[in-house]
């Protein structure tokens, strides 16, 4: 088995960790004991993920958090439309016959006030994934302690370990 990690700093979190700590991709690879290809890029928005290339048959996508942050910083009345469209495009780009795909929901960062703003984007992720029979990983519930974060919004090693267990569970259930 081999896994491709598509997305943003949920997987490309190395710059936010202390020197010598393993990034999410390394933690996931250690947990799964398989080849893990991480093409995720810190700061990527959904539309950027269309340029990431997945080589493996199991694909885990983490995206939408940077889109939601951009919405908070500059109110865009078309945000939900664009989010709906972009989630669909990403899921269509990486799904297909013979592929096992899951998309992570957006987690609630340590800024608790921001947590309420991700409910509608997470609903969109669940609906768009469900329409395509693609699984979702509930990062919103998974990242529930301050120690799950390396800073206010990036996953720590502990958070990455929780995510690795959730990915392993997805893979076991989809065999």
Query: What is the reported pTM?
Result: 0.94
pLDDT digits 0-9 by tens, 43-79: 999 999 999 998 899 999 999 999 988 887 777 788 8
Please give the CATH superfamily to which domain 2-173 belongs: SGNH hydrolase (3.40.50.1110)
How far apart CA 118 and CA 115 sit, in angstroms, is 6
Give the start-to-end residue ranges of the domains of the chain: 2-173
Sequence-separated (6 or more) residues with CB below 8 Å from residue 98: 57
How far apart CA 156 and CA 136 sit, in angstroms, is 21
How far apart CA 73 and CA 41 sit, in angstroms, is 21
pLDDT digits 0-9 by tens, 106-144: 988 777 666 677 888 999 999 999 999 999 999 999 999
């Amino acid at each position: 088995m081999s896994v491709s990690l598509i997305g943003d700093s949920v997987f490309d979190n190395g710059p936010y960790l202390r020197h010598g700590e393993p990034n999410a991709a390394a933690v996931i690879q250690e947990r799964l004991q398989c080849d893990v290809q991480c093409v995720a890029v810190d700061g990527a928005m959904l539309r950027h993920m269309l340029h990431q290339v997945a080589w493996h048959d199991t694909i885990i996508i983490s995206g939408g958090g940077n889109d939601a942050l951009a919405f908070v910083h500059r109110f865009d009345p078309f945000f939900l439309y664009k989010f709906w469209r972009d989630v669909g495009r990403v899921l269509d780009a990486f799904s297909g016959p013979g592929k096992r795909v899951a998309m992570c929901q957006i987690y609630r960062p340590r800024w608790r006030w921001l947590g309420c703003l991700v409910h509608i984007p997470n609903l969109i992720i669940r609906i768009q994934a469900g329409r395509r029979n693609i699984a979702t990983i509930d990062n919103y519930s998974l990242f529930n302690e301050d120690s799950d974060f390396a800073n206010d919004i990036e996953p720590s090693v502990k958070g990455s370990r929780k995510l690795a267990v959730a990915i392993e569970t997805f893979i076991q259930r989809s065999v």
